[in-house]
Amino acid sequence: MADLMEFTNDNIKDGKSEDEAISAAFKQLGPVDELIEEINDDQASDEKAENDHNNDPFFKFGELEIDDSEVRIGKQTIIDGDRVNLGKFLQVDGNRVNMFNGFLDIDENHVHIGKFEAVDSFPSNLDLVNSKSFDVSNLSEINIAYRSAIFMVRETSEDQLTINEYMSRDNERYYLQSNQYGDELDIREGVRPRLHWLKVRTEILVPHSFKGNLNLEARDGRVDVRNIKNEDLNLQLKARSGSVRMDTVLINKATVLVSSGTLTADTISAPNLTIDAKSGRVNLNYITGRLGLTVHSGALQMNHFAGTGDILVRSGSARLGID
């Protein structure tokens, strides 16, 4: 633009009219497309130089380089945002910390030390956004399935099945959906947002008076079943990914299918108990009844088993304590 004005002023001084001076100035500048291309090239060159300057490490010592977002040793990035990679000694990925090649494993809800779960906490900062009750007097089958949630299953002395939903965001579209067909009740999660993360904890209160089948499916999340004492209850639990914990469960029949994750069961009694774990750790303690146990890949530790059954470990380690 400065060149154009300078050429125009010079042409006017030479005696040309204003229109003639401007026209001549454009001719002196050359073809417009070449001019634009030259301007763009200059701008791109300036931006590249600025980016190269910004990407230069502000600390460098040997192969160690540190900038405002990364720490590198040679070609290996050991710190990048919320990720830390120090090999088997330390791995950090967001809210998960793994130390000593998995000996210490910490996330937002669990602390595992070796094979033991030292801390188990459920998020308590979620608000109760929805509570719904169902009459079970004429039901023989209850199906509850969520793709991603924390399941807490408890027994209640009330006559109705109650589902309490705790969520990090309140929207009626996210609430459970239910349908009843004769003596069968189906409960499914509501709509899930695609553009932001939703944290859900679902509390399932099962009446002690219920006689029939309770089928739970959690594709991704955690399942915690505690203090269920109902000899007329048949429980089927499917967990595709996550952890399953069962404590003090005395029922007629239990089938537990875990695709990937940790299964911890303590004080379980059932005339018919089937456990199929495809991958992960299986920790069983004080198991009573007829047991069919299959571990496809992982580590099995069982103490104080009293009963009969078949135990198959296809791949991995097994430590058994039988009373």
Structural fold of domain 127-322: Pectate Lyase C-like (2.160.20)
Confidence of residue 33 (pLDDT cuts 50, 70, 90): very low
The pLDDT > 90 percentage for the chain reads 45
- 298-322 residue pLDDT tens: 889 999 999 898 989 888 788 887 7
Give the model confidence (pLDDT) of 225-251 as tens digits: 999 999 999 999 999 888 899 999 999
Percent of the chain with pLDDT over 70: 71
For residue 217, what pLDDT is reported? 94
DSSP secondary structure, 134-168, as one string: EE-TT-SEEEEEEEEEEEEEEEESSSEEEEEEEES
**pLDDT tens-digit readout, 161-187:** 999 999 999 999 999 999 999 999 999
> d(Cα 53, Cα 57) in Å, to the nearest integer?
9
Average per-residue pLDDT for the chain: 80
Here the tokens at position 6 are 């300078």
- CA-CA-CA-CA torsion sign (152, 157, 163, 169): negative
Q: Mean pLDDT throughout 80-106? A: 67
Of residues 229 and 3, the one with the higher pLDDT is: 229
Q: Which of 29-38, 67-76, 78-87, 90-99 has the lowest mean pLDDT?
A: 29-38
Confidence (pTM)? 0.63
CA angle 35, 39, 43 (to 5 degrees): 170
64-66 and 59-61 beta bridge pairing: antiparallel
Domains of the chain, by residue range, sit at 2-54, 59-107, 127-322
